[in-house]
Amino acid sequence: MIFKRDEGFRYTFSQPIPAIFTFHQINDREVKSSPGMADIIDISPEGMRISSKLLIPDIGADVVLTLKFKLNGEELTFDGKIVWYKEMGKLTEYGINLIVDDSEKDIIIKELKVFSKNNS
């Protein structure tokens, strides 16, 4: 498992944010999947930790998800690669390395600032 904790900041939600994900790629092969449900536990401009009832069986594969969620009423969509997982009883937590450019990182930072201000 890879843990990336040298980021500038990571925002942990007091109540997880619901998200919908689909599989986008597995081992560089485009795939289409049914949507799955997850909760975003924390997020940074470069990654997030989610939990889901779904246990992805082939975690050794190179798996890229497309994640959709709302933050401050804005619908956000990002791709991310699963870099670690941990089974937690009936749920599984996944570490996601977001595949984002600088403008998308700025959007995450901006929305987190607004969210933090509105929920403090």
Inside any domain, residue 114: yes
Inside any domain, residue 56: yes
Inside any domain, residue 5: no
The domain that holds 113 is classified in CATH as 2.40.10.220
Please, where are the H alpha helices in the chain?
A: 102-118
**pLDDT tens digit string along 93-109?**
999 999 999 999 999 99
What pTM, to 2 d.p., does this model score?
0.88
Inside any domain, residue 74: yes
Judged by DSSP in three states, 118 sits in helix
Domain that holds residue 110: 11-118
Most confident of the ranges 6-15, 26-35, 75-84: 75-84
Inside any domain, residue 6: no
Inside any domain, residue 4: no
Inside any domain, residue 99: yes
| Cα–Cα nearest to 65, from 93, 97, 25 | 25
Inside any domain, residue 54: yes
Distances (CA, A) of 80 to 21, 77, 97, 114: 10, 10, 5, 23
**pLDDT tens digit string along 37-85?**
999 999 999 999 999 998 876 666 788 999 999 999 999 999 999 999 9
Q: For the chain, how many structural domains are there in total? A: 1
